[in-house]
């Protein structure tokens, strides 16, 4: 169905390095990256431009507008969100979404990946503070760094990967401010860890597009939601962990229900609102 198609990829952060090969290998598809499509208009990680919509709405809008602007039937976009992991407390997490817009058949497929595989972190320093251990922790050099003034919340510099440059900027920055934040640069081209997750997600999307609905034969059959709640293995109280994943057709009402991929039948008491309020 998707053999030899052309797909516009909505990115300015080199995400074709993660997305292009899975689509070439599976469909002999051509990924086209416009050189003038400004994805920052949908929001930036550093907050200069707020993201006005949810990540889910944004990843669809980003792809739709690229398809419309450049006249493509097919479009792909990716959106990432970083913060505390939604179920593993006190651990940073990366929630990645990828959308595939098919205007010929009038549907959108979304795949997601939630992972703790991220270097997302920050540290606030004064002129007297050392930070070499922080740089090691975030794999500085292969991964970029952002400097922000905490006095004004303004970005001082982005995409720093050289130690000498970092030391120079930090030193000069303390001439007119008291505290600086070192934060990981989560833009894909500055973060190989994130790029690997996007590649994994692109492979999932390709596999999803290859699957057909058993009822109507439409492509894109796959996980659309979850249902049910796991009971606490200690006291039997309902937790927020889901019990079944729901696979659905995007064109008709056919659904299938499957157990969790991790085979959990009961939740650990750390997720229980009674045992661990």
In the predicted model, what is the mean pLDDT of the chain?
94
Same domain? 43 vs 164: no
219: DSSP letter: B
Write the CB contacts of 164 (distance below 8 Å, at least 6 apart in sequence): none
Considering only 38-42, 96-100, 109-113, 228-232, which range has the smallest mean pLDDT? Answer: 38-42
Same domain? 95 vs 143: no
* DSSP assignment of 136-203: HHTTBTTB-EEEEETTT--EEEEEE--HHHHHHHHHHHTTS-S-EEEEE--SGGG-HHHHHHHHHHHH
CATH number at residue 2: 3.40.50.10150
Residue percentage of the chain with pLDDT more than 90: 81
Same domain? 9 vs 143: no
Same domain? 99 vs 45: yes
Same domain? 64 vs 168: no
Write the CB contacts of 27 (distance below 8 Å, at least 6 apart in sequence): 2, 3, 4, 5, 206, 209
Same domain? 147 vs 80: no
Same domain? 200 vs 239: no
pLDDT tens column, 144-188: 999 999 988 899 999 999 999 999 999 999 998 899 999 999 999
Check: CB of residue 166 under 8 Å from CB of residue 174. Answer: no
Q: What is the pLDDT of residue 73?
A: 97
What residue numbers bound the domain in which 239 lies?
213-277
Same domain? 91 vs 21: yes
Q: Which two tokens stand for residue 24?
A: 């070439």
Q: Which two tokens stand for residue 207?
A: 């596999």
Considering only 21-25, 96-100, 103-107, which range has the smallest mean pLDDT? Answer: 103-107
The number of beta carbons lying within 10 Å of the beta carbon of residue 142 is 12
Task: Compute the distance between CA of residue 53 and CA of residue 227 in angstroms, rounded to an integer.
Answer: 25
Same domain? 179 vs 152: yes
What is the total count of domains within the chain? 3
Long-range contacts of 255-262 (CB under 8 A, 24+ apart): 256/214, 257/227
């Amino acid at each position: 169905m998707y053999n030899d198609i052309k797909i516009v990829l909505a990115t300015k952060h080199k995400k074709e390095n993660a997305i292009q090969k899975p689509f070439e290998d599976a469909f002999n598809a051509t990924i086209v990256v416009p050189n003038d499509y400004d994805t920052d208009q949908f929001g930036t990680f550093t907050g200069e431009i707020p993201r006005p919509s949810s990540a889910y709405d944004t990843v669809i809008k980003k792809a739709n507008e690229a398809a419309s602007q450049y006249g493509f039937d097919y479009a792909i976009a990716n959106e990432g969100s970083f913060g505390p992991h939604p179920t593993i407390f006190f651990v940073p997490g990366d929630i990645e979404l990828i959308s595939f817009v098919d205007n010929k058949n009038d549907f959108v497929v979304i795949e997601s990946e939630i992972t703790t595989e991220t270097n997302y972190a920050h540290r606030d320093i004064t002129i007297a503070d050392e930070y070499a251990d922080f740089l090691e922790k975030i794999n500085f050099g292969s991964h970029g760094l952002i400097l922000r003034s905490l006095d004004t919340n303004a970005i001082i510099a982005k995409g720093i990967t050289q130690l000498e440059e970092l030391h120079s900027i930090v030193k000069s920055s303390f001439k007119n401010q008291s505290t600086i934040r070192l934060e990981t640069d989560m833009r894909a081209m500055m973060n190989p860890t994130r790029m690997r997750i996007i590649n994994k997600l692109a492979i999932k999307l390709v596999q999803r597009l290859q699957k057909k609905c058993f009822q109507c034969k439409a492509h894109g059959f796959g996980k659309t939601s979850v249902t049910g709640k796991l009971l606490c293995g200690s006291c039997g109280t309902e937790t927020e962990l889901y019990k079944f994943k729901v696979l659905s057709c995007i064109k008709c009402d056919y659904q299938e229900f499957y157990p969790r991929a991790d085979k959990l039948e009961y939740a650990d008491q750390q997720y229980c609102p009674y045992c661990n309020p």
